[in-house]
């Protein structure tokens, strides 16, 4: 995962919000952008963007984008639901897990090989 500064001017112009902090998650054919943005009132919120390259026969490839905006009043509810969904997937996933090819990945970059509970430490600090 890489951290980027607020130089993504194309996204800044499209949304009209300043990007304060950005992380990129490269996931195969998809790229996820996690952006902390500031609205016109100065409040911070999280914008999650999924970008997927779509190739059409005979056409130039284009990108499909989907966005989710999370505001501070929803952080706790979202975090709790995410924990619940990840735990369910880990408990009920019947597909064999294949470890990542990159041994240099940090702990937490992929699902554990055993049945240990998923631990997700998300700490939203806001006033």
Q: Return the ∠ at Cα 113 (arms to 48 and 32), rounded to 5°.
A: 15
- If you average pLDDT over residues 16-26, what whole number do you get? 87
Nearest-angstrom CA–CA distance, 39 and 60: 34
- If you average pLDDT over residues 43-52, what whole number do you get? 95
* pLDDT tier, 119 (very low <50, low <70, confident <90, very high otherwise): low
pLDDT at 108 over 70: no
The structural domains of the chain, ordered by start, are 2-72 (3.10.450.700)
Residues 38/20, Cβ–Cβ less than 8 Å: yes
Contacting residues for 18 by C-beta, under 8 A, at least 6 apart: 6, 12, 37, 38
* pLDDT tier, 103 (very low <50, low <70, confident <90, very high otherwise): low
Tokens of 85: 């969904």
């Amino acid at each position: 995962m890489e951290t980027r500064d607020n130089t993504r001017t194309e996204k800044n112009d499209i949304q009209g919000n300043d990007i304060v902090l950005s992380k990129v998650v490269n996931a195969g054919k998809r790229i996820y952008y996690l952006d902390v943005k500031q609205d016109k009132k100065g409040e911070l919120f999280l914008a999650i963007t999924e970008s997927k390259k779509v190739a059409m026969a005979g056409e130039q490839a284009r990108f499909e984008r989907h966005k989710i905006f999370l505001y501070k009043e929803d952080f706790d509810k979202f975090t709790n639901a995410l924990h619940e969904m990840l735990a369910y997937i880990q408990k009920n996933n019947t597909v064999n897990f294949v470890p990542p090819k990159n041994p240099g990945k940090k702990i937490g970059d992929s699902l554990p090989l055993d049945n240990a509970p998923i631990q997700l430490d998300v700490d939203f600090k806001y006033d």
